[in-house]
């Protein structure tokens, strides 16, 4: 264990895992996906997925990680042999692809921070145009995401305790405070109540198949599930830690931040008369508008702090994404941490180039269609393939693996270390039922429906 590194304490794990979970998925993506899918109705379904399916899968992942002390490939291999190892490998591949586009969006946030601090962003009139011109500028994308990748690589290179844990412990609480401050400000603006109503009063007629699939994919993405990030982080925790308790804390903090991000954005959007279904530009456009309305110095201060924190939230997630393939190379290939970080960062950065070009810089990557009538960017395609479809699939495979191969008994055995009263408790029965029965059935079914809808345009309901 000593050479792989590990978290120093239970809080260290919670901070790092919550740092992985809380990121662009909560602050950038959740509000715009909720905005496009009916607001409150989406929120309800999302929360149901999180607690019914997400939490049990998280407990399963962390338990497998701690039991094996290995990266996802090594973990599946150790417990299930060669046949199962490819499931772990597939998860690592998803992580690599997710990081390739995630790093580009993190670069936008970083670029906005720089433009707010040193540029003329606060003087811009057409914020929507600004966002689209900005993301279409290849050289800006290239520079900012390169800086972000280097920063991520540097922290991962420093290792689990100094790099990952230390960074997360400071940044997470700060983020929370700034969110609350912007919410209080936003709720006092004219028409804020319309935004709150859109977000909190559900209109069930807006729920359809797409709402349900997007909410599931979003739940997995936001909790960092289905690709082995939590197997990897689980491999760094001690046998004294209570896995159920830690996973519950991580799930609650992640959901709370996504919820608060929505509560921050929708009043701002409605008070400025914007549309909640603006898409990926939502947070960038709505927030800058609000910073412009504040007294200049205050606007600059709040604006800079917000985008800086968005970068930090993204950073604690990018490090967890990079840690997965790096742990794989260190464990399986016996590479040094340094070499693994450099090689992996370079590959992932290169894989992100088409995503950088997919917001207008190149026509080919900006219009990538699957089936008639739908035009998708390259980045959309990567998201559909590697998270909307694959993360719930990864959860499905994990639950099948536990149910059929590792067995509920071994799972209970692992969880009961650090949680003495677990065995025989109602909680044990609940998790066993969810992981070995409900998750395989529900996630298997959802996988088929999502593939039909995403790639063949067929909606069953």
* Site residues, ligand PHE (CB under 6 A): 20-21, 23-26, 98, 221-222, 224, 227, 229, 317, 320-321
CB of 382: closest distance to ligand PHE in angstroms?
A: 13
46 close to 219: Cβ distance less than 8 angstroms: yes
d(CA 342, CA 279): 34
Q: How far is the CB of 321 from ligand PHE (least distance, A)?
A: 5
Residue 245 near residue 78 (C-beta atoms within 8 A): no
Structure tokens, 200: 């909190």
Please report, for residues 4, 320, 322, 329, 354, the alpha-carbon distance to residue 342 in angstroms, rounded to integers and kept in the order given.
18, 15, 11, 11, 20
227 vs 283, which CB is nearer to ligand PHE?
A: 227
Q: Select 16 or 114, whichever has its Cβ closest to ligand PHE.
A: 16
By beta-carbon proximity to ligand PHE, the closer residue of 13 and 419 is 13
As a whole number of angstroms, the distance between CA 310 and CA 313 comes to 5
Q: Cβ contacts of residue 69 below 8 Å, gap of 6+?
A: 1, 4, 235
Given the complex with ligand PHE, which of 105 and 403 has the nearer CB atom? Answer: 105
**What minimum distance in Å lies between the beta carbon of 110 and ligand PHE?**
15
Q: Is 275 exposed, middle or buried (0-12, 13-18, 19+ CB in 10 A)?
A: middle
Q: How far is the CB of 249 from ligand PHE (least distance, A)?
A: 15
DSSP code string of 228-258: SHHHHHHTTS-TTS-HHHHHHHHHHHHHHHH
Q: Min. distance of Cβ 231 from ligand PHE in angstroms?
A: 11
**Alpha-carbon distance 270 to 277, whole Å?**
11
Least distance in Å: CB of 57 to ligand PHE? 12
Gap between the Cα atoms of 41 and 127, Å rounded: 28
**Nearer to ligand PHE by C-beta: 67 or 222?**
222
- In whole angstroms, the minimum distance from the beta carbon of 225 to ligand PHE comes to 7
Residue number of the CB atom closest to ligand PHE? 25
Residue 85's DSSP bridge partners are none
Which residue, 25 or 74, is less far from ligand PHE as judged by CB? 25
Q: What are phi and psi of 368, to 5 degrees?
A: -115, 100
CB of 227 to ligand PHE, least distance (A): 6
When the beta carbons of 124 and 320 are compared against ligand PHE, the nearer one is 320
Q: How many residues does the chain have?
A: 461
Cα distances from 327 to residues 250, 324, 388, in angstroms, run 22, 5, 24
- Distance from C-alpha of 380 to C-alpha of 105, rounded to nearest angstrom: 12
Q: Which is nearer to ligand PHE, 222 or 453 (CB)?
A: 222
DSSP state of 191: T
- Closer CB to ligand PHE, residue 24 or residue 79? 24
Distance CA 43, CA 59 (A): 23
CB of residue 237 to ligand PHE, shortest distance in Å: 17
Radius of gyration of the chain (CA): 21
């Amino acid at each position: 264990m000593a050479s792989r590194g590990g978290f120093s304490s239970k809080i260290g794990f919670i901070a790092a895992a919550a740092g992985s979970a809380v990121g662009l998925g909560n602050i950038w993506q959740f509000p715009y996906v909720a905005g496009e899918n009916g607001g409150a109705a989406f929120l309800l379904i999302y929360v149901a997925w999180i607690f019914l399916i997400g939490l049990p899968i998280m407990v399963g992942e962390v338990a497998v990680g701690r039991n094996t002390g290995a990266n996802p490939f090594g973990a599946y291999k150790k417990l299930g042999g060669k046949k199962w190892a490819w499931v772990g490998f597939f998860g690592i591949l998803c992580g690599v692809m997710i990081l390739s586009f995630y790093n580009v969006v993190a670069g936008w946030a970083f670029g906005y921070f720089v433009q707010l601090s040193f540029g003329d962003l606060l003087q811009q009139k057409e914020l929507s145009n600004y966002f689209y011109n900005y993301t279409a500028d290849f050289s800006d994308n290239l520079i900012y995401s390169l800086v972000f990748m280097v920063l991520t690589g540097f922290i991962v290179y420093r290792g689990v305790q100094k790099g990952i844990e230390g960074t997360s412990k400071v940044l997470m609480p700060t983020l929370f405070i700034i969110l609350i401050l912007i919410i209080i400000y936003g709720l006092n603006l004219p028409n804020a109540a319309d935004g709150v109503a859109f977000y909190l009063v559900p209109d069930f007629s807006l729920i359809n198949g797409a709402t349900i699939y997007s909410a599931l994919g979003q739940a997995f993405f936001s909790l960092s599930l289905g690709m082995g990030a939590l197997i990897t982080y689980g491999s760094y925790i001690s046998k004294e830690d209570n896995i159920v308790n830690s996973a519950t804390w991580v799930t609650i903090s992640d959901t709370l931040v996504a919820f608060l991000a929505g509560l921050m954005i929708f009043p701002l959007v409605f008070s400025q008369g914007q549309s909640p279904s603006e898409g990926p530009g939502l947070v960038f456009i709505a927030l800058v508008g609000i910073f412009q309305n504040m007294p200049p110095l205050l606007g600059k201060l709040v604006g800079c702090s917000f985008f800086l924190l968005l970068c930090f939230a993204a950073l604690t997630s990018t490090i967890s994404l990079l840690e997965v393939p790096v742990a794989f190379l260190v464990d399986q290939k016996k590479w040094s941490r340094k070499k693994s970080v450099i090689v992996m960062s370079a590959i992932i950065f290169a894989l992100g180039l088409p995503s950088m070009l997919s917001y207008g810089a190149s026509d080919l990557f900006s219009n990538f269609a699957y089936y008639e009538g739908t035009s998708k960017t390259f980045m959309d395609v990567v998201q559909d393939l590697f998270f909307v479809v694959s993360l719930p699939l990864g959860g499905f495979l994990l639950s099948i693996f536990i149910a059929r191969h590792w067995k509920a008994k071994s799972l209970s055995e692992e969880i009961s270390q650090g949680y003495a009263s677990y065995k025989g408790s109602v909680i044990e029965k609940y998790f066993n039922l969810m992981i070995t029965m409900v998750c395989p059935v529900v996630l298997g079914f959802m996988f088929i429906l999502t593939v039909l809808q995403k790639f063949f345009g067929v909606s069953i309901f």
